[in-house]
């Protein structure tokens, strides 16, 4: 597959910042949760690692929330009500998943979280 870098940069330049932030935060969060899931039991005693890991994940989540909100508001502004509603759901989804999560079922809930991030990533990519 030939990727024209110049063409790609041109496309990125035309994208709104909120969309770029949404795509990037989604990708990093998915990667972060996959790493966290794999490392959780293996390196459970690495408290410092998980402390820094979680701080980075929290920052990414903040970026994700801002971009989702920004995106939802801009969709609302341009009259795309269904998209605005869907993105608002994605804004609250991490908290809803967190509300029901338990340590015993952490892998299941992490998978649900990853799945929701993949869906929001695909949705964001559909705007390109």
The residues binding other proteins (CB under 8 A) are 36, 40, 44, 47-48, 50-51, 53-55, 57-59, 61-62, 65, 94-95, 97-99, 101-104, 106, 109-110, 113
Find the shortest distance in angstroms from Cβ 82 to other proteins.
26
Find the shortest distance in angstroms from Cβ 74 to other proteins.
23
- Rounded distance between C-alpha atoms, residue 52 and residue 37, angstroms: 15
Closer residue to other proteins, CB minimum distance, 33 or 127: 33
Closer residue to other proteins, CB minimum distance, 13 or 99: 99
Closer residue to other proteins, CB minimum distance, 50 or 127: 50
Q: What's the DSSP call for residue 103? A: G
- What is the SS3 assignment for 37-90? HHHCCCCCCCHHHHHHHHHHHHHHHHHHHHHHHHHHHHHHHCCCHHHHHHHHHH
Tell the residue number behind the tokens 């299941």, with chain if given. 108
């Amino acid at each position: 597959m030939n990727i024209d870098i110049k063409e790609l940069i041109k496309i990125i330049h035309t994208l709104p910042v909120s969309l770029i932030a949404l795509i990037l935060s989604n990708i990093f969060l998915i990667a972060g949760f996959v790493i966290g899931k794999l490392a959780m039991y293996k390196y459970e005693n690495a408290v410092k690692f998980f402390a820094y890991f979680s701080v980075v994940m929290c920052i990414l989540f903040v970026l994700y929330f801002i971009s989702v909100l920004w995106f939802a508001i801009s969709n609302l502004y341009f009259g795309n009500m269904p998209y605005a509603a869907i993105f608002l759901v994605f804004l609250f989804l991490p908290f809803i998943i967190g509300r029901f999560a338990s340590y015993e079922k952490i892998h299941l809930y992490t998978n649900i979280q990853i799945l929701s991030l993949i869906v929001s990533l695909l949705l964001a990519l559909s705007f390109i």
